[in-house]
Amino acid sequence: MIKRFALTGLGALALMASGAIAIAADEAATIRAALAKVLPDFKPTSVKATPVDGLFEVEIGPQVMFVTGDGRYLIDGAIVDLESRENITEQAQARARLRSIEQVGADNMVVFEAPSAQHTITVFTDIDCGYCRKLHEQIQAYNDAGISVRYLFYPRAGANSPAYDKAVSVWCADDRREALTRAKAGEDMPKRECANPVAEHRQLGELMGIRGTPAIVLDSGDMVPGYVEPKRLAALLEQTSAAN
């Protein structure tokens, strides 16, 4: 988590343990002030209490960390309730993922809606990725299983790569769904340019720690790396729904 923030060139979190923290009127303000010293480019989405006395959950976009009420100590790792065996960190992370994805908005995604949708998944995809293409070849099977598929672009090679340019061309096409299907089938697409969300999609994926594609975010907020065939994915979605 913190390593992903470090990619932006921010300093280490040593300042947080130094005691050089402005005292605020309440714990939330103290925590925000402490984080502002070491993560000045990131504003916490929320700061809220946890079941652990004196420990607070801080959400910054799709990432979650835990900070003590005095703003001095940060915990980056799993916090498990030994009575319920629940992973508090993963639950918080799942909520943060969903909130960040919903902020993108369906209008800024390429969506293949199921006629009778029971579940919605969000897939970070690279047009040239083999398993991404395999997933899309079965898009009708996912829809028939009651799964709507929302695509976000994650060209792994980054900007100025062929996959990135293809993603932009797909977005700028008159029919994005048709263009995406043709591009994933290996067709050469006319190069187009327009205002597009590809860079924002990729940045969100980086903050979520995505390294490979496809990366599937379930409607529970859980993340599943790699291709999952339709029937197995439908079963997994039912399982996570029942657990939540």
**Residues that are catalytic:** 126, 129, 132, 156
Distance CA 110, CA 117 (A): 16
Element at 166 (helix H, strand E): helix 162-171
CA neighbor of 139 nearest in space, from 119, 170, 111: 111
Is residue 57 within 8 Å of 47, Cβ to Cβ?
Answer: yes
Determine whether 29 is exposed, middle or buried from the number of CB atoms within 10 Å of its CB (0-12, 13-18, 19+). Answer: middle
Is residue 1 within 8 Å of 76, Cβ to Cβ?
Answer: yes
